[in-house]
Amino acid sequence: MGFLKIKDTILQDNKIATRQAYGEVLVEVGAKNENLIVMDADLSASTQTKKFAAEYPDRFFNVGIAEQNLFGTAAGIAHTGKVVCASTFAMFATGRAYEIIRNSIAYPELNVKVCATHSGITVGEDGASHQTFEDLALMRAIPDMTVVCPSDATSTKELMKQVIEHDGPVYVRLGRSGVPILYDEYDGKAPTQNEIEQEDDEFCPVVDFKLGKSVMVRPGEDVTLIATGIMVAEAIKAAEWLENRGISTRVIDMHTIKPIDEDAIVDAALDTKLIVSCEEHSVIGGLGSAIAEVLVRCAPTQMRFIGQCDTFGESGKPEELMRKYGMTWQDICDEVFEYFDK
């Protein structure tokens, strides 16, 4: 586990893609962990595994444009006791190679980390054939598969360190486009529970990042925005706008989709009037569905969904596509206002 500090001010012009942070942290971990193997399907410049390949060529394998072979070979190497991070685009990993991941990696509980980049609508100009909105749904349905979707470069590095240490298969969803930095590295003394509780509104900006435990980025009492991946930044912008109009808005970074942080969801249902899920993924089967599954069992409450609404994407600039398909901070605000206006 590692501590990060929530930034006081988010600079929208300071953006780094999570795939870039992924490439950097592989090199960092690779220097300390000689058991780490990295693999790719001829996309290392895009997935950023090229950084690891340059530093540790004897521990990097490019299998060519053959995604099923990529994950089948990764499974074989993992059987020897190695930890394998295997990368390609999310569409090809979870689409073309799904059966291999399910039967050859997850079923025998192998230590393979499926680290997929270029997910969601922000793949942009590559178009509908490369924009996957089903990957979280597919991966979280596989038994014992941990599913992670970092929100920025800083948290990507921290979560990847834990993913590599985690014993078992993990799916990590990474993006193509740059996203704002939401967290700073924190080297100070970890706060005690008493110190956390003494903060106003029981909110402490220093958070312990760990798999399966969400992060409350902002406290709030009227509505809760539960977001993952690039949508966390959009949720924060929405919360700031809503706060200025008298709606107290909690924001939760649900970086681990499975196992999901049920306690945070139930607390949000009990403390606020409305929950809005925010994801760059289909509203079917992803974060929103995972939240709803918890609520219907534990704390039924009003809920709204922000995401790709049962449709394919198209080629275009990422920002334009986010607007067209309803995944911006303005769309989040519209959902909240529609609820409170009724």
CATH code of the domain in which 288 resides: 3.40.50.920
147 located within any domain? yes
Q: Given 180, 200, 235, which residue is the final one in a domain?
A: 180
Dist. CA 78–CA 70, nearest whole Å:
12
Residues 150 and 216 in one domain: no
- Specify the DSSP element, H or E, that contains 252: strand 249-253
pLDDT (0 to 100) of residue 2: 84
Residues 175 and 229 in one domain: no
List CB contacts of 322: < 8 A, sequence separation 6 or more: 121, 122, 280, 328
45 located within any domain? yes
* CATH number assigned to the domain comprising residue 82: 3.40.50.970
198 located within any domain? no
- Collapsing DSSP to helix, strand or coil, 37 comes out as strand
Residues 266 and 303 in one domain: yes
pLDDT > 70: what percent of the chain? 94
Query: How many domains are contained in the chain?
Result: 2
By the 10 Å C-beta count (0-12 exposed, 13-18 middle, 19+ buried), 192 is classed as: exposed
List CB contacts of 195: < 8 A, sequence separation 6 or more: 204
3 located within any domain? no
Dist. CA 23–CA 250, nearest whole Å:
32
**Which candidate, 146, 178, 140, 143, places its Cα nearest to that of 159?**
146
Residues 46 and 133 in one domain: yes
Asked if 67 is an active-site residue, the reply is yes
97 located within any domain? yes
Task: Assess whether the previous peptide bond of 259 is cis (omega < 30° from 0).
Answer: yes
Domain extent at residue 49 = 15-180
Question: Does pTM surpass 0.75?
Answer: yes
Which residue ranges in the chain fall short of pLDDT 70? 1, 11-12, 188-202, 342
212 located within any domain? yes
pLDDT (0 to 100) of residue 200: 47
Choosing from 24, 67, 158, 234, which is the catalytic residue?
67
Q: What b/e readout covers 149-162, taking b as 16+ CB neighbours within 10 angstroms?
A: bbbbbbbbbbbbbb
pLDDT (0 to 100) of residue 14: 82
